[in-house]
Amino acid sequence: MSPKDLISIYDLTPAVIEGILERAEYLKKNPVQTVLQGKSIGLLFTKLSTRTRVSFQVGMHQLGGNAIFLSDREIQLKRGESIADTGRVLSRYLDALVVRTYSHNDLTELAACSSIPVINGLTDLLHPCQVLSDMFTIRERFGRVNGIKVVYLGDGANNMANSWIYGASKMGMKLVIATPPAYQPDEEIINRGKTAASVGPGCVVVENDPGKAVRDADVLYTDVWVSMGQEEEAKERLEVLKPYQLNQSLLKQANKDAIVMHCLPAHREEEISAEAIDGPQSVVLDQAENRLHVQKAILMHLLGM
């Protein structure tokens, strides 16, 4: 996509990513600014949200701007107005648009038809804002992201795993996707990650044995096993993915100073044990808070501030 947008981490250079992380560090220490005074963004959501919605709304307020929530139930998209017309019209009112929806193709079509920056707040394919924030959290804890080993446990074919493949590859991280054969990442995503890694030492490995995967890990990461729209598959998913639960047993096999991460919402005792997510090695609440700081940095980057 155009550099004006944030659709995928794949489209960002390592220098741009590092710049976003550095700016987020500054904004965490200096949260209230006026750099976006007079600017307005729209939040066009067809999926439920807690962290994405609140962090962008509060972030724009702290930067001196305004955020308008646009539920698909409340605008004319619900009545058949085209994506193209929606993008063209909203571009006349807003300075940027955050979109959280199911179809990645709908997002890219909207971005192509909009003259303002479009930010991917989540699609079924990718969740770039979350992984950028996660990298910031890792950087806070370890002082770097390059060379850090992240083990992603669970569904290796979902939007979080896909975005981690791109993010780790771009930033020279070691990523192990620990997943059963039926839930491995798409081969095209893996190949694109390898292409991105050609500029650095990033490494992506798929491993079916969770115990083997977590050896020497710095970060153990997981996400829900049943995402919105997958409820009919819940019973099968929970059974197949059960050995990949992030728990104390796996955590003990990682590095002693390894951290536990989860992008939330969490289903305790499914993809993660209560002991792990609420324990002393968990940085899950820091991770959630950092969505605010990183998304402010993203807005400043895209709006040229």
End-to-end CA distance of the chain: 21
Kindly state the average pLDDT of the residues 146-153.
97
So what's the pLDDT on residue 248?
97
So what's the pLDDT on residue 97?
98
* 1 pLDDT above the threshold of 60: no
Are domains 9-127+291-302 and 129-287 of this chain identical in fold?
yes
So what's the pLDDT on residue 2?
60
So what's the pLDDT on residue 200?
63
So what's the pLDDT on residue 158?
96
Kindly state the average pLDDT of the residues 100-117.
97
So what's the pLDDT on residue 232?
77
pLDDT digits 0-9 by tens, 168-217 = 999 999 999 999 999 999 999 999 998 887 666 678 999 999 999 999 99
pLDDT band per the 50, 70, 90 thresholds, residue 79: confident
pLDDT digits 0-9 by tens, 210-248 = 999 999 999 999 999 987 666 778 889 999 999 999 999
Answer yes or no: are the C-beta atoms of 51 and 291 closer than 8 Å. yes
- Which residues form the catalytic set? 100, 127, 130, 223, 263, 291
So what's the pLDDT on residue 77?
84
Single-letter amino acid code for the residue at 201 = P
Domains of the chain, by residue range, sit at 9-127+291-302, 129-287
Q: Is the peptide bond before 265 cis (omega within 30 degrees of 0)?
A: yes
pLDDT digits 0-9 by tens, 203-219 = 899 999 999 999 999 99
pTM for this one?
Answer: 0.95
Helix, strand and coil in the chain, % to nearest 5? 45, 15, 35
Q: Return the DSSP state at 6.
A: B
Kindly state the average pLDDT of the residues 275-286.
98
pLDDT band per the 50, 70, 90 thresholds, residue 72: confident
Average pLDDT, the chain: 95
Question: How many beta carbons lie within 10 A of that of residue 26, not counting itself?
Answer: 14
Q: Return the DSSP state at 246.
A: B
The CATH code of the domain at 129-287 is: 3.40.50.1370
Give me 206's structure tokens: 């798929």
At the fourth CATH level, the homologous superfamily of domain 9-127+291-302 is Aspartate/ornithine carbamoyltransferase (3.40.50.1370)
For residues 278, 280, 283 and 284, what is the CA-based torsion angle, rounded to 10 degrees? 0
So what's the pLDDT on residue 54?
98
Residue 49 class from Cβ within 10 Å (0-12 exposed, 13-18 middle, 19+ buried)?
Answer: middle
pLDDT band per the 50, 70, 90 thresholds, residue 304: confident
